[in-house]
Every structure is written in C-alpha cells, then in structure tokens.
Structure 1
Amino acid sequence: MMRRTRTAAITATAIALALGATACGGSSGGSGGKATKGGTLTILNKADYDHLDPQRTYTTEGSSMDTEIVRALTGWDESTSTPKLVGDLATNTGTPTKNDTVWTFHLRAGVKFQDGTTVTSQDVKYGVERAFSADINGGPPYASQWLIGGSKYKGPYTGKSLDSIQTPDASTIVFNLDQPVADFNETTAMPGWSAVPKAHDTGATYDTHVWSDGPYMMKSYTKNKELVLVRNPYWSQKTDPLRQQNVNEMDVKFGMDEAAIDNLLKSDSGSAQTSIQQWPIAGSDLAGINGDKALASRYYKIPAPGINYLTLNVNRIKDIRVRKAIEYAIDKTAVRGAFGGEAYGAYATTMLNPGMGGYKQYNEYSSNPAGDVTKAKALMSQAGNPKLTLSVAVENTPTQEHAGDAIANSLARIGIKVNVSPIDASTYFSTLDNTKNQYDMAWMDWIADWPNASTVLPVLFDGRQIKANPLSNQDISYLNDPAINSGFDKAAKMTDINTRNAAYGALDQQILSQASVVPLMYMSFTELSGSKVGGVINDPILAEPSLAHVFLKS
C-alpha cells in the first residue's frame, strides 16, 4: 500500500484565505475531550488522492478517506492500544470452512446507502467483481490471486459474474478460494471489499461518484482542488461499530505547499485550529516539530508497518557486482536527513520491519549507515569499473528531490553518475508501476496491507506479476527469481504461523542477496492538527491519523 505525495506552490496566505470560507470556531484543546456535534473539519493536503474508488484505492491517504465513505466487510477497531479485527459491514470477522478455503460473511441488518436503499450481499459481490475489470486497475491483487477463476475473470462489465463469489441470500456472501488463506478476513478490511450498487457505478469515473454507505457522502469533488463530504442521512450509529458522525462536513483542500501547511498548523491561528493534515510533515520541518513540546498534544507520530527503499532495476543494471556496489555506496544518513532525520525512522537493513511477523534481524551489506565506499569501489573494480550514467526516479517534492541528490552524491563516490528524474507525484506510482517505464532506479515506500509478511514480500518481489499486471506491477526492481517465486507459493500454503514467518524471514534474506533493492528506513509518519480538533486516534494499520471519531471542540 504505497503512499502518494505531491506538492504545489500555494502559499500559507492562500491557504488561510481558503480556510476562512469553511472552518468553524470553538474553544482551545488537544485531540482528546468530550465529543461534540457540528462544524466543518478542514483537511489540508498537498496532493489529491490517487483514487477514492474503493476497488482502485491502494494508498494510505485514499484508504483512510474511504473509511469515512464506504464500509468494508471487516475493519480494525483502533480504540484500544492494539488494533482488533472486527466485523464492519459484516456481523463478525467471517467463518472459514474447508481448511480456510471457503469464507462466509453475514451482513448487518439496517445498513443503507446514501439514497436509503439497503446494502445487500449482491452489492458487495458486484463491488468485488468490478476490481477485475481492466477499467478498474491499480488496486490490491488478492482477489484475482485467491478467488477460484479470478485469474481469467474480466469483470462484470462483460456481462458475466464470478461463480466463486456466492450470494445465497441478500445478507450472506461466500468466497471460494483456490488455496487456504488463514488471514483472508484481514484482506476484507481493505476498501475493495465494499459494496457498490450497480445502478450507480460510473466505471472509470467512480472516483468522483463513490456511493456511500458510511457516515459521510460526497457533496462535491473537483479533482486536484477540493472534496467536500457531508453527512449521509441514512447512516446509523447502531449499525456501525467503528465510526462516529460528529462533524457536519469534511472539506479537503488539495495542491498546497507542504511547508506552508506545516507552518499554518504550527501557528494554530484562526481557522487552522479546526484543520488537520493527512500527508507527512515536510522533511525540512520534521526535526523542529518533533522536538517542540508545545505541539505535543496535536502532533501524531505513527510507526508505519512499512519501509522506505530504493529499487534497482535488475533488467537495466544487470551486473550484480554493480548492484552490490550501489548497496554499499548509498549513504543512508544523507537520505534520511532529507526526510527529516532520526524523527522519520530508524535505518533499515531488511524489507520486513521490526515488529512484523517474519522479521529477521539481518544485514547483507554495510554495517555503517553512511556506507562502505572501499567495499563498493572493490566491487566496481571486479565489474571492470564501467562508466555508468543511471537515472533515479523521485517525486517532485523538495523532500524527495533532496533524497535523490543524496543518492546521486553517494554513487558519485564510486564513479557512477546519476541523473535525478523528478516525476509529478500525482502520477508517480502509476508511472513507475507501468512496465514500460525507463528508470534504472526508483525511490519507493511500502506499507503492509495488514500486519503480515504476505502483504509485503510477494507483492513487491513475485516476478510473475510483471507480465500479469503490466499497468499496475508492484515489482519495480523487476526481480523474477524462480526460486523466490516458488518460496512464496510454499509460504502461502503454510498454516502454522511460526513456520510461515520463518519462511518469510528466509525469503527476505534471499531477496536482499540479489541486490535488487536498498532498504533505507523503517518509517514513522507524522502529522499535525489544530488545537480544536478532537477525537483523533492513531491508525497503526495505515499509519494515518484516523478520523473515525473526529470532532471539533466548542
């Protein structure tokens, strides 16, 4: 689940003027307090969402916003210290039978769409099926990987349905899988496992017409400018165990400079008091904000179940000695500095982060985060000291471009010239996911879809997806190792969690030995809110400030 970012040069003054039209007042306070009703929460984002169509959403910000609009079969209760999987649209977390190959869910009674019609199992089936259409691409791959017949199904727009999804009645849905998946009910907490009424499906334009069964619905949506959500009048607290409906509106403003947003929220002046951001604090601002005790009550630092990393395209950098030289040469201290330093996260040496099942403490390359230039030069000598000019793709934000410069300076130490190629962040991941991209290296980050290694390593390194998903391939290093692919298949069939975790830990080490990726940092994401924003809780699944219980203090 990758994070998308984009920036545009809109000043703090312009933001303040925009805020004046919609924000409401109230008394001061932190993120806690007694929930009150009313007002408009303003969300300041430097970028539009890549998608809000639930079957296409595959970003943290988009998924977090979708939680306010649509309901998946299951969801994460984050009101306690440890997230707990619960039924959301479904009455519980599902019932597995036949060795976890058949999963049955029963829908809650009384859940309604924004027009008052009842949500049915047929609506959920149709929602899941539309993800198979070529017009609805970019979302998670699990449905096509696991549902019987999914690899050949082309979606409901062909006039056909997927027989492995059964709806014996209006409140029951059954999924038939081609392999045991013990954590399938964690998959169904993602937005793609939500209901879409066929009559209101607008296909590829559904991003701006999402039909709500959650607490808020779209009033207006102008891409790259503004999204306004208002209360869904047919949502009922009695049917929803995860969300509240406290504010009257959520007004999301896009295309604002990241530093200007940070400074406005730091100042906590005027209508900024009723605002929050969803994108991380700029790297240039993070160290100062992280250490400012006056901001502590409205500063959210959420350890992300994920990794910031650099991909090395093995089809373009073919000599593994050169790739290993790059591994040793990268100065992670300089790269981390671009993202905000120590406050951003610890240095990474693996693709699985500490705390995740399967994590194995291991370092294939330099023990010094500043790199080992001597070792790197020796490897380049073994490769014949080729005179290389390589490209590295980064997003066109100051934070990312500074990180690109750090990578270029690192590799200049071993005679490799690097051209930093900034790409508009609104199209960054779709550009890199396209197998026709021409970049030698690329910055990436990844957050686990749920806390399991199966949502990290196979998604990022199973080479079979390169051909299967040419427009939405996640294997940006283009590693396609038959032994590793086979290892993924074997791990997926393991029902004992300890055995499976050990297998993924070994696969992590095997992947790193191929020098197709440079782990950079284990991430934390940081955001600010205004002092009159209450009810915000940390979402450790998405590494976002959750708005499920948000309210404005009066």
Structure 2
Amino acid sequence: MNSRKATAALALAMAMALGASACSSDSKDDKGGNKPSSGSSKAAKGTDAALTSIVNASDKKGGTVVMENSDVPDSLDPGNTYYGWVQNFSRLYARTLLTFKPAAGKDGLTVVPDLATGLGKASADAKTWTYTIRSGLKYDDGTPITTKDIKYAIERSNFAPEALSNGPTYFKSYLEGGDKYQGPYKDKNPNGIASIETPNDTTIVFHLAKPFADFDYLATFSQTAPVPQAKDDGAGYVKHIVSSGPYKFASYTEGAGATLVRNPQWSKANDPVRTALPDRYQIKFKVDAVTIDNNLLAGNTTVDSGGTGVTPQTQAKVTGPKYKSSTDDSYAGATAYMAINPKVKPFDNIECRKAVEYAIDKVSVQTAIGGSVKGDVATTLLPPTVNGYAKFDEFPTEGNKGDKAKAKDALTKCGHPNGFSVNMTARSDRPAEMAQATAVQNSLKQVGINASIKSYPAGKYFSNFAGVPSYVHEHQLGLMMTAWGADWPTGYGFLDQIVDGSAIKPSGGNNLQELNDPAINKALSDAISNTDAAARTKAWGDIDKMVVDTATVVPLIYRKNLLYRPDNATNVTVTQAYLGMYDYLLLSSSK
C-alpha cells in the first residue's frame, strides 16, 4: 500500500467538498515543511479564507498564543490521549515518526517525515514496516532521542490500560504477540515486546501479525512520540513531560492549564516541519464556552483549543456583518451520532432500537445546534469528506423529520406499544451536544419514549462514564450522545475504534454501543489487509452500511465547525487532518 495515494484520494474529495482547489498564499521549503509568506499585506483574508489559504501569513518570531478550553483534556500525555485537539496541540512538544504537513487546503492531508527521515518501508505483504530516524535528536534535558524511546512509548501507551487508558490500541491489535504482552509496568523483560526491533539507535522495525496497509497513518499518532523510560511514572508522567519538540512545559496545573516555552535543545535544522514562531503558548482549562467566544471576539484569546467552533449563543453575532469575514465554516470530517447500547434493556431487542431510529427528527437536531452552518443531516457514520464514504439511508423518513408511524410499529413489535423510559448521556460543557440531546429527547417523547438526560464533563466522559461498560450497565445508560472524527483520513481510520469489537475497553473506550459483530470485525480486518487501494475504499462504505443496519447507532449530523479567528491571530489555516480545526503548528500571534 502506498499511503500517499490514499491521502491524495481524500485530498481530492476534500477539495470537491469545499468547492475550491487548494490554492494558498504560503510558500513551502524543499523538505516538505511549510514556511508562511512574509508580509501580512499579501495574506488571504475574508470569510472561509482559512479553508484553503493561510490567513494573516507572517514569518515574524515572538508573541504568545493564548488558548482556552471549556473543559480539561483527557490527558496532555501524548501516550494517553484520544482527543483530536490534543493530537494537534501535542505536536508542539512531542514529535512523532511521521506527521501531517502543516499547510493550507489539501496539502495539509499529506503525510510527511517528522522524527523519521522518510515514510515507512513496507514489505510486499504490508506486515513489516521499517523507519529510520534522524541522528542528533535531543530531549529538552539534552539527552539523546533513540528508537528505543519510541518503542517504549508504544509499549506504555498500548499495553498498560491500568495506567494509560485513554488512547487507541492499534499497535496492540496488530503487532505480533500483542495479545500476550503485558506492558512495561507488568512485564519486567528489559527487551520489551519482541515484535518491535531497534537494531540501532536510529532504526525501528515493526513486525505485524497481519497486514496493515495504513501503517504510515498510524505512525503519525502521538503514541509514537518518544518517552525516556527512566522518566516515566505512568499516569504521573503528564506532570513532567519530557519534550522532543520546539516547546517544553514551563508549568502544568492539572485542571487549570499549562504554559509552553521554547525548548533550547530543539534544532530547526533537524525539524523541517515546524516553524516555531511564537515565544510561548498559554492554555487555560475550564473556561465557560460563551466566555471563550467573547474573549475571541475581544482579541484576548487566540483560539478555542477544542476546535469545535463557537457556541449556538454566539453564532448569530459572528455571522453578522461585523465579524463574518473572520469566520471559517469548516467541515470537521466528523459525525455527531447517538449510540444505542444493546446491553441495556430494552435495546437488546432490535425493534426497540429501530423505534428510536425512526422517531428522531434530525432536522430539529440540526436546528438546535444552529442550522446548516453547523452541519448537514447525516444518514451514515462516515462523513462525505472521508475516503470510502458511500451514500445510503437505512431508516428513511420524509425530509429527515422522523416517522411516528414507523416508530410506533417498531415499538409494538418489541413489546412496548406505549413506549418506555431510558437514560441518555451528553457532555455538560458542550452546549451544542446538550442542545442535540434535548432535541432528540423531544422527538422520542412524541412516540412515548421518555429519555432522561444525564450530563457529564467532556474531560472524563469516556474514561469515567460513557466509555466504561460497567458504569453504563449499572446506570442503565441506553442512549449516549457522541461525535467521532477519523483517527486518520480513511474509512478504517474512522470506523475501527468505534465499531470493532476489539475496541471495547474497561474504560476510555469509544465503541459506546459495545458492538461486537463477528461479520463486521472480519470485514474490517479483511479490508485493511488488502493492498488494493480501490478495494479498500469500497469496503469502508460497505462496512458502514453493515454497522447502521444493526440499529446501534443513529447518525445525526455531519459536523461543521464555525471557527472564529481574531485579528491578532497569524498563520491561520484549517487542517482536515485534525478534524477541521486550525493547525496549531502554524498558528501564531502578533500579540
């Protein structure tokens, strides 16, 4: 498999979806990095300008980027995160084997070398992948970075759920012996897992149990950011992360925020990807979402780090004449949906699940979050901007407004002709998601299904509540609001962690519906093993349809992010590689 072909295919799809080719005002160096144009007078401006260009381009060094978030991250530890915005943000202090090119438009979907000197060298069967990293790399304390540190980082992030439970476990699923290795905290063998070889300090070889044609995408994940074993203390590592990027932590206060400053050990000569223009980054947690919007409008904040756009309360203001030219309505490459858990009664009966599918007025859900500017009505899990999308509607209703008659018929078939009561979850600090939940609640009530909304904080939503099967079962959480964007921009990168049975975890899981269908599991495994790119692409749409047919998910909205950029934000561009938010490797500030 040539991952560059897959990226190019998605890039073309994105260009078509955005209705424009990716022309940008930036210039690029000859090593795959990105160099903002000097002179802001030539920079792109206007509504949606950052979708395909770099807005307020500048090569000026200095300034502070101020970021705010309405809750806390799952973790800033690169090996213990699954939030897209943390993956984007962590590139400032944690370099990975490969990364997505910081660039405007479709160029931002290109995978380029980061720590590595080139893309992976794959065996003919896509079961062995070899990378060589640059020599002379150093941590912020001056110690050398070696491939042994990358191996250790993967071991701790994929094989130690007792300490690090938030991230995905692709490496565990695909490495030879991944089902037996107990992780570095339990397995005292100093050589670690045998299927990752480090024959010298600059070479790392991955031996897979089965073919994995998307492996270069996996090498972009923050889990490949090196971690020195001597500095690791499991969950506590987040308090003293050792930097491999251009910035290091000057301070970190759990639940409050962090400050990043320049890492004197970082070398631009050894990092063709990053511009590293700002002097510092300040990120604040637990800031009210509407307050963040107001701070953006006042120019006191550079960016909402969550990257999901302004709140419904602020939308009318920013779409007015005064602010509209500073907005970007970006496709998020993500779908908002509701999981239906068949392990919670009465959803063990598919007809009860179908009743929910037919009852929901999706247009009311769209209206609740602010209308079409915040997204299109969804009928599939895969959004149209992800490679492999196929258009279908398994539970059609007139105008996507629900069908009471079909819902009532399904209720009768499942033995609850008068309806039933159920608990539904949503994230308390995400106004749009709460609005969606309320709209769904109103739809269900029309057919006799009484949904009680239980709200939880976003930062612990998956690790403590909706992503913990034992908690879900104990509290009878039958319906769970969520949203998902691709781990990398292919159908597999979108679907695997939310529909494969192996993704069900004791905590921190994203397969909220606990779907473990043997046919779906096999179809995913077969498709990612196929080195024929066209066949893989078709398979993703087929698998999506198989999932929706189980009636365990209700696709709601193909999300858009209505982003706002203050005038003092420079080098602003949207990256589809990170769910349609701004690219934090490029983002700078004139303040």
Structure 1 length normalisation: TM-score? 0.90
Provide closer, same or farther for how the CA distance between residues 159 and 293 of structure 1 changes in structure 2, counting only shifts above 3 A.
farther
Q: Shift of residue 293 of structure 1?
A: 4.6
Q: Runs in 1 of length 4+ with deviation above 4 angstroms?
A: 27-30
Mean CA deviation greater in 285-294 or 71-80: 285-294
Task: For 1:552 and 1:405, locate their aligned partners in 2 and report how far apart those are by CA, in whole Å.
Answer: 38
Alignment of 1:86-97 (within 5 A): 86-97=112-123
- What SS does the aligned partner of 1:541 have? helix
Alignment of 1:403-422 (within 5 A): 403-422=436-455
2:406 paired residue number: 375
Amino acid at match of 2:385: G
- What SS does the aligned partner of 1:122 have? helix
Alignment of 1:4-83 (within 5 A): 31-82=55-106, 83=109
1:276 paired residue number: 303
1:184 paired residue number: 215
Task: For 2:538 and 2:587, locate their aligned partners in 1 and report how far apart those are by CA, in whole Å.
Answer: 40
Alignment of 1:231-242 (within 5 A): 231-242=262-273
Retained in 1: the 8 A contact 2:63–2:278?
yes
Q: Shift of residue 128 of structure 1?
A: 1.1
Given candidates 198, 204, 211, the residue that maps to 2:229 is 198
Alignment of 1:151-300 (within 5 A): 151-157=179-185, 158-160=187-189, 161-268=192-299, 272=300, 275-279=302-306, 280-285=308-313, 287-289=315-317, 291-300=319-328
1:504 paired residue number: 540
- Could you list the runs of 5+ residues in structure 2 that have no partner in the other structure? 1-39, 46-54
2:29 paired residue number: none
- What SS does the aligned partner of 1:285 have? helix
1:104 paired residue number: 130
Task: For 1:485 and 1:34, locate their aligned partners in 2 and report how far apart those are by CA, in whole Å.
Answer: 48
Retained in 2: the 8 A contact 1:376–1:414?
yes
Provide closer, same or farther for how the CA distance between residues 219 and 487 of structure 1 changes in structure 2, counting only shifts above 3 A.
same
Q: Shift of residue 302 of structure 1?
A: 2.6
Task: For 1:314 and 1:297, locate their aligned partners in 2 and report how far apart those are by CA, in whole Å.
Answer: 46
Q: Shift of residue 473 of structure 1?
A: 2.9
Q: Shift of residue 423 of structure 1?
A: 1.1
Task: For 2:333 and 2:234, locate their aligned partners in 1 and report how far apart those are by CA, in whole Å.
Answer: 32
- What SS does the aligned partner of 2:459 have? coil
Q: Shift of residue 454 of structure 1?
A: 1.0
2:48 paired residue number: none
Alignment of 1:340-419 (within 5 A): 340-367=370-397, 368-384=399-415, 385-397=417-429, 398-419=431-452
Retained in 1: the 8 A contact 2:105–2:574?
no
1:450 paired residue number: 488
Q: Shift of residue 297 of structure 1?
A: 5.0
Retained in 1: the 8 A contact 2:462–2:507?
no
Amino acid at match of 2:497: V
- What SS does the aligned partner of 2:440 have? helix
Deviations 1:231-273 (A, max 9, x none): 01111111112212211110111111111211222233xxx1x
Q: Shift of residue 286 of structure 1?
A: 5.3
Alignment of 1:483-522 (within 5 A): 483-522=519-558
Provide closer, same or farther for how the CA distance between residues 80 and 168 of structure 1 changes in structure 2, counting only shifts above 3 A.
same
Provide closer, same or farther for how the CA distance between residues 546 and 464 of structure 1 changes in structure 2, counting only shifts above 3 A.
closer
Provide closer, same or farther for how the CA distance between residues 46 and 495 of structure 1 changes in structure 2, counting only shifts above 3 A.
same
Structure 2 length normalisation: TM-score? 0.85
Amino acid at match of 1:369: N
Retained in 2: the 8 A contact 1:36–1:552?
no
- What SS does the aligned partner of 1:325 have? helix
Task: For 1:526 and 1:128, locate their aligned partners in 2 and report how far apart those are by CA, in whole Å.
Answer: 35
Provide closer, same or farther for how the CA distance between residues 369 and 118 of structure 1 changes in structure 2, counting only shifts above 3 A.
same
Given candidates 419, 423, 427, the residue that maps to 2:456 is 423
Provide closer, same or farther for how the CA distance between residues 473 and 45 of structure 1 changes in structure 2, counting only shifts above 3 A.
closer
Retained in 1: the 8 A contact 2:310–2:564?
no
Retained in 2: the 8 A contact 1:348–1:521?
yes
- What SS does the aligned partner of 2:540 have? helix
Q: Shift of residue 399 of structure 1?
A: 2.9
1:13 paired residue number: none
Amino acid at match of 1:352: L
Retained in 2: the 8 A contact 1:283–1:338?
no
Alignment of 1:522-541 (within 5 A): 522-541=558-577
Task: For 2:175 and 2:321, locate their aligned partners in 1 and report how far apart those are by CA, in whole Å.
Answer: 50
Task: For 2:225 and 2:235, locate their aligned partners in 1 and report how far apart those are by CA, in whole Å.
Answer: 17
Given candidates 300, 307, 328, the residue that maps to 2:358 is 328
Q: Shift of residue 464 of structure 1?
A: 4.0
Retained in 2: the 8 A contact 1:37–1:552?
no
Q: Shift of residue 305 of structure 1?
A: 1.8
1:548 paired residue number: 585
Retained in 1: the 8 A contact 2:112–2:118?
yes
Provide closer, same or farther for how the CA distance between residues 408 and 507 of structure 1 changes in structure 2, counting only shifts above 3 A.
same
Q: Shift of residue 338 of structure 1?
A: 2.8
1:305 paired residue number: 333
Retained in 1: the 8 A contact 2:213–2:528?
no
- Could you list the runs of 5+ residues in structure 1 that have no partner in the other structure? 1-26
Retained in 1: the 8 A contact 2:290–2:314?
no
- What SS does the aligned partner of 2:391 have? coil
Mean CA deviation greater in 282-291 or 401-410: 282-291
Task: For 1:64 and 1:295, locate their aligned partners in 2 and report how far apart those are by CA, in whole Å.
Answer: 26
Retained in 2: the 8 A contact 1:244–1:548?
yes
Deviations 1:387-411 (A, max 9, x none): 4100100111333332222111101
Retained in 2: the 8 A contact 1:327–1:515?
yes
2:52 paired residue number: none
